[in-house]
Structure 1
Amino acid sequence: MDTFFDLINIVTNFFSIFSKEVTEEKIEKNIDALHKNDWFRDLLANETYHQMIQHNTDVRYTIGKLNIKKLEKNPADPKFEKAIRRAIRKVEER
């Protein structure tokens, strides 16, 4: 199943070349919206994950790429959690 998501991620990244750039403002706005979720607050409670969310460029890029309109409309959508956990897992595997 992860292979499927990796393939989707590759295709999405290819087409994201034509989308807007991820800015710190967008990342912070998405983080503010994600704070509404218990699972995100639990991630921040873990010091290692907190550091990744605050400082790791790959994790922050993933957060910034989340669709802000969908995120604000339904921040509890499980796809947001999956995307962030996948980015964290990739960083941990290095």
Structure 2
Amino acid sequence: MDTFFDLINIVTNFFSIFSKEVTEEKIEKNIGTLQKNDWFRELLANEPYHQFIHHNTDVRYEIGRLNTKKVEKNPSNPRFQKAIKRAILKAEE
């Protein structure tokens, strides 16, 4: 049984290498780029949402998970808006 758990641990560690690393710099860079959009500025104008974007770790993590290069290329992509709004709604619960 221990061998089974060791195998799962090895596989998990292997795939964690390929997971996206989220840093404060990446989060702040994505926020700066997203501020070019009306929909994101509207979120920031809403005080509770502003608090979530700047202080909630789950919402900030979701913003940091966004592909920075794709955000810079097309910050108005509706997928970004959907992901951030979903994270905010989840944080409100």
Could you say which TM-score interval applies, normalised by the shorter chain? 0.7 to 0.9
TM-score by length of 2: 0.80
Q: Deviations for 1:8-50, whole angstroms, at most 9, x for unmatched residues?
A: xxxxxxx776224100000000000100100000000011000
- The residue number in structure 2 matching 1:21 is 21
Question: Alignment RMSD, CA only?
Answer: 1.4
TM-score by length of 1: 0.79
Contact 2:53 / 2:59 at 8 angstroms: preserved in 1? yes
Question: Aligned in 2, Cα 1:88/1:16: closer, same or farther, shift over 3 Å?
Answer: farther
Unaligned 5+ runs, structure 2: 1-14
Question: Aligned in 2, Cα 1:91/1:19: closer, same or farther, shift over 3 Å?
Answer: same
Runs of 4+ with >4 A deviation: none
Unaligned 5+ runs, structure 1: 1-14
- The residue number in structure 2 matching 1:50 is 50
> Could you say what secondary structure the match of 1:21 adopts?
coil
